[in-house]
Amino acid sequence: MKFTIESDHIKGNLAYGELSISPIEKNGYRPFELFVSSLAGCSGTLLRTILTKRKYPFQKIQMEVSSIRNPEEANRIERLSFTAHVLSDEPLMEELAEKIAPLVIKNCGMIQSVIHSIEISFVITSIPLNGDYR
CATH superfamily of 30-128: K homology (KH) domain (3.30.300.20)
Residues in the chain, pLDDT under 50: 133-134
75-110 tens-digit pLDDT? 999 999 999 999 999 888 999 999 999 999 999 999
Check residue 7 and give its pLDDT.
87
What pTM does this model have?
Answer: 0.90
Measured distance CA(11)–CA(70) in Å, rounded: 27
Distance in angstroms (rounded) separating the CA atoms of residues 93 and 43: 20
pLDDT number for residue 132: 62
Query: What's the rounded Cα separation, in Å, for the pair 65 and 126?
Result: 16
Residue 75's pLDDT is what? Answer: 95
The rounded distance, in Å, linking the Cα atoms of 134 and 117 is 43
Give the H/E segment covering residue 21. strand 18-21
